[in-house]
Amino acid sequence: MHFTSERRLDDGVLEREFTLGEIPGILWTPGSASAPVPLILLGHPGGLPKMYPRLAARARHTVAQGYAAATIELPGGGDRPRLADVEAARADLRRALQAGEPVDDGIVDRLVLPLVDRAVPEWQATLDALLALPGIDGPVGFAGGVIAIGVRLAVVEPRIAAAALFAGSFVPRSMFEEARQVTIPLLVLLQWDDEGNDRQLALDLFDAFGSKEKTLHANMGGHTGIPAFEGDDGNRFFGRHLK
């Protein structure tokens, strides 16, 4: 892990860009030295440069509650080399949604499974590197999307102790068996009238999770309209499980 830039935000939060091999990422930590803090990984749909304003806002909110926050670019996202198979599936998905057609399982599998297979080991390598830094400690939370990546991480990565998952993207039916293996506490966010998402699939996925403590929060406002108060709810959720 190499830090490539460092700056202090106006609220004192330290923001450092890094690369891990070819993967770019950002780490946000509390402004003043303190006892080691738990880490929350911020998931997103890919495209760090475009997502930066929203991610930085989430990160500052998170760090203000006494955590470190970090994110990495998705395979094929932002400035990383495109993934031809994923791009082709994404085009098919867009066509189906624009035509108002049902999204068939084949498209979802071709879009999501290669991303999950590639992204999860990258998140795990990032975790190795971040937890070796002074000032960051376990346990670790995962917050956001791509939800299928969060599901796989929750199953295979024992350092993830709780997850706040954004049910805002398709999950392959073949991953429902993995969802049943998830046992960590979950907060699942659903935007009720998210046009590019499948509400029933999200409800089925919530039902499938094996966790004894799982909470669903559904709100109005479309895909990007998650109310600000959900940020507070997410911090309280992690407060119950990471501290």
Q: Which of residues 218-237 bind a copy of itself (CB under 8 A)?
A: 218-220, 227, 229, 232-233, 236
Q: Is 216 in the site for a copy of itself (CB under 8 A)?
A: yes
**Number of Cβ atoms within 10 Å of the Cβ of 133:** 17
Give the distance from CA 170 to its chain's centroid.
Answer: 14
Please, what is the end-to-end C-alpha distance for the chain in angstroms? 27
Shortest distance, CB of residue 220 to a copy of itself, whole angstroms?
A: 6
Q: Which of residues 120-149 bind a copy of itself (CB under 8 A)?
A: none
H or E element in which residue 95 lies: helix 84-98
Pick between residue 159 and residue 236 the one whose CB is nearest to a copy of itself. Answer: 236
Pick between residue 114 and residue 239 the one whose CB is nearest to a copy of itself. Answer: 239
Give the distance from CA 40 to its chain's centroid.
Answer: 10
> What single-letter amino acid sits at 198?
D
Residue that the structure tokens 């376990």 belong to: 138
Shortest distance, CB of residue 104 to a copy of itself, whole angstroms?
A: 24
> What would the two tokens of residue 173 be?
């039916």
> What would the two tokens of residue 134 be?
């002074």
> What single-letter amino acid sits at 126?
T
> What single-letter amino acid sits at 174?
S
Q: Supply the angle between the helices 229-242 and 48-64 in degrees, to the nearest 10.
A: 60
Shortest distance, CB of residue 201 to a copy of itself, whole angstroms?
A: 14
Phi, psi (degrees; rounded to nearest 5) at 59: -65, -45
Shortest distance, CB of residue 192 to a copy of itself, whole angstroms?
A: 7
* Among 208, 215, 223, 231, contact with a copy of itself (rule: CB under 8 A): 215
Shortest distance, CB of residue 23 to a copy of itself, whole angstroms?
A: 35
Pick between residue 149 and residue 188 the one whose CB is nearest to a copy of itself. Answer: 188
Q: Which of residues 173-212 bind a copy of itself (CB under 8 A)?
A: 192, 203, 206-207, 212
Distance CA 186, CA 214 (A): 5
Q: How many residues bind a copy of itself (CB under 8 A)?
A: 19
**Footprint on this chain of a copy of itself (rule: CB under 8 A):** 192, 203, 206-207, 212-220, 227, 229, 232-233, 236, 240
